Amino acid sequence: MATDFYNIDSALSEEERAVRDSIRQFVDDKVIPVIGKAYIEGKFPKEIIAPMAELGVFGANLPEEYGCAGLNNVAYGLIMQELERGDSGVRSFASVQGALVMYPVFAFGSEEQKKEYLPKMARGEIIGCFGLTEPDYGSDPSGMITTAREQADGSWLLNGAKMWITNGSTAQVAIVWAKTGEDKSPSSIRGFIVPTNSPGFTARDQKGKLSLRASDTSELVMQDVRLPANAILPKSGGLKSPLMCLTQARYGIAWGALGAAIGCYEEAVSYATNRVMFKKPIASFQIQQQRLAEMLTEIVKAQLLVLHLGRLKDAGTFSPQQVSLAKRNNVSIATDIAREARRLLGANGILAEYASMRHMANLESVYTYEGTHDIHTLILGQAITGINAFE
Ligand code: TGC
Ligand code: FAD
């Protein structure tokens, strides 16, 4: 592929390339033809859930014994890259299902919970969402006010609201993070598996989004939702548990944003070589060549970054701060590349028929969710200086 300027393919195993190619084909055949319309209609294209499950996309890096594909983290990253080459909303759907719903069940769930939920989630029979953010607690989830109170019979009573929840209105279960202690300390945060048909649970889609339109984003309200004793994720404890999930999802986003950048770059190269102005393809003008050169340079750097990060993750030696650097960098360069590609396309660049403006608008959400660019700057600042800006 032209975009593989540094022959990254040679650093991938045969299996990694095969996984990447199968998802690439799926995105070309099933996502790209429908995504512009879905985006304009403001709906996630649900018809792609079953084929995604068949391809083993959901929780692809979780073990086979729970019905998952058991792939390594580089193959998982390549899946995210290809999905987001299609649309950030499609990658979001898979990120939430795999990294934010299946991962916490896998990491903090009982054996019964893992056996009950993971195979069905891998098959796409149960869709999940992840409720951490609240109306008044976005970047600082430690302040959350949602509570889960243990009752005399061991059941739980859940009260609170979660905001900006991807897949919220589609999901059959929500992983909800709530404080269980009277003192409202973040150390009492626990995760709960909440069936979304529980009495007192409502999900309402947020309207008026100008970004990530091919993705359902909802507000969850929980009013005296009664949960059985076994709804709690027994090994969850403290804010660290949801933050561990975010590390998994941020890793996938770093790869995914690269995919969006590649989609925009390839569209720009193709357009520049075909569009004739002043009797020459616009690709012959130095300004456009410079644009393309800058895009490719940033893509190659981002490719090398996530590939090495993936190898570190597979070796079990990566840190959340390394993931922050990759999420921050790759989303930022993708946002810039999408904007430059849109500009190169002239007036056609504002049409949904082309991908660049859709990617550009989507990436504004990706820039904000899973830790804003600013939050990752401060995480890195702490890693560099030892000084915590959040205290
Ligand atoms: P802090 O005191 O720093 O940390 C508490 C404990 O957690 C540990 N920790 C982590 N562990 C794993 N991964 C990480 N990324 C971790 N970050 C921190 C930390 O070591 C500590 O452990 P221990 O053993 O000492 O208890 O917590 P803080 O309250 O000061 O917060 C720090 C801060 C601001 C970095 C954190 O709150 C944060 O990351 N905020 C951003 C919130 C965010 O990203 N929300 C995302 C919501 S989900 C979402 O957006 C889904 S979009 C999905 C999609 O559609 O793709
Ligand atoms: P705020 O925290 O209010 O931040 C506002 C501004 O202040 C930002 O620019 C931020 O960088 C800056 N800021 C905040 N604190 C600091 C600081 N200490 N220093 C410097 N600047 C600071 N959440 C979920 O739980 N589950 C989901 O599935 C989910 N899906 C989402 C889907 C979409 C489309 C979007 C847009 C969001 C989603 N989110 C989800 C929520 C997302 O994680 C939050 O929007 C994000 O964490 C930021 O919180 P906030 O929007 O409240 O912004």
List of residues 6+ apart from 86 with CB closer than 8 A: 27, 31, 32, 35, 259, 263
The DSSP letter of residue 29 is I
Q: What is the CA radius of gyration of the chain?
A: 21
What span, in angstroms and rounded, lies between the C-alpha atoms of 308 and 343? 32
Q: What is the pLDDT of residue 152?
A: 97
| Kind and range of the H or E run holding 174 | strand 173-179
C-beta 141 within 6 A of ligand 2: no
Active site residues: 370
CA of 300 to the centre of ligand 2 (A): 28
What local confidence, expressed as pLDDT, does residue 184 receive? 84
- How much is the pLDDT for 2? 66
Q: Which residue has the tokens 């893992």?
A: 114
What distance in angstroms lies between residue 343's CA and the mean position of ligand 1's atoms? 36
pLDDT of res. 35: 98
Per-residue pLDDT for the chain (391 aa), expressed as one digit of tens each?
Answer: 568 999 999 999 999 999 999 999 999 999 999 999 999 999 999 999 999 999 999 999 999 999 999 999 999 999 999 999 999 999 999 999 999 999 999 999 999 999 999 999 999 999 999 999 999 999 999 999 999 999 999 999 999 999 999 999 999 999 999 999 988 899 999 999 999 999 999 999 999 999 999 999 999 999 999 999 999 999 999 999 999 999 999 999 999 999 999 999 999 999 999 999 999 999 999 999 999 999 999 999 999 999 999 999 999 999 999 999 999 999 999 999 999 999 999 999 999 999 999 999 999 999 999 999 999 999 999 999 999 999 9
Q: What is the pLDDT of residue 121?
A: 98
Residues 129, 93: contact at Cβ < 8 Å? no
Distance CA 55, CA 335 (A): 28
Atom of ligand 2 nearest to the CA of 132: 25
The set of long-range contacts for 345-349, using a CB threshold of 8 Å and a minimum separation of 24, is 345/267, 345/268, 345/271, 346/275, 348/271
Residue linked to tokens 């969402």: 129
Q: Is the CB of 203 under 6 A from ligand 2?
A: no
Q: Could you give the count of Cα atoms lying within 13 Å of 228 in the half-sphere of its Cβ?
A: 4
d(CA 4, ligand 1 centre) in Å: 33
Is the distance from the beta carbon of residue 368 to the nearest atom of ligand 2 less than 6 Å?
A: yes
For the Cβ of 379 lying below 6 angstroms from any atom of ligand 2, the answer is: no
| Neighbour count for residue 317 (Cβ, 10 Å) | 9
CA 253/CA 239 separation, integer angstroms = 21
Prediction pTM value: 0.98
DSSP 289-322: HHHHHHHHHHHHHHHHHHHHHHHHHHHT---HHH
Bridge partner residues of 59 (DSSP): none
Joined tokens for residue 17:
């390339």
The alpha carbon torsion through 37, 40, 41, 43 (nearest 10 deg) reads 80
Q: Which domains does the chain possess?
A: 8-122 (1.10.540.10), 128-231 (2.40.110.10), 240-385 (1.20.140.10)
The number of the ligand 1 atom at minimal distance from the alpha carbon of 91 is 56
Residues with Cβ within 8 Å of 328's Cβ and at least 6 positions away in sequence, in order, are 373, 376, 377, 380
Residues in Cβ contact with 178 at an 8 Å cutoff, skipping those fewer than 6 apart: 144, 146, 147, 148, 158, 160, 189, 190, 192
Q: Is 339 within 8 Å of 360 (Cβ atoms)?
A: yes
SS3 percent helix, strand, coil of the chain, rounded to 5, is: 55, 15, 30
Per the CB < 8 A criterion, the answer to whether 150 and 156 are in contact is yes
Distance CA 213, CA 225 (A): 30
Tokens of 274: 């075909």
Q: CA 63: distance to chain centroid?
A: 20
Q: Measure the CA–CA gap between 102 and 79, rounded to whole angstroms.
A: 16
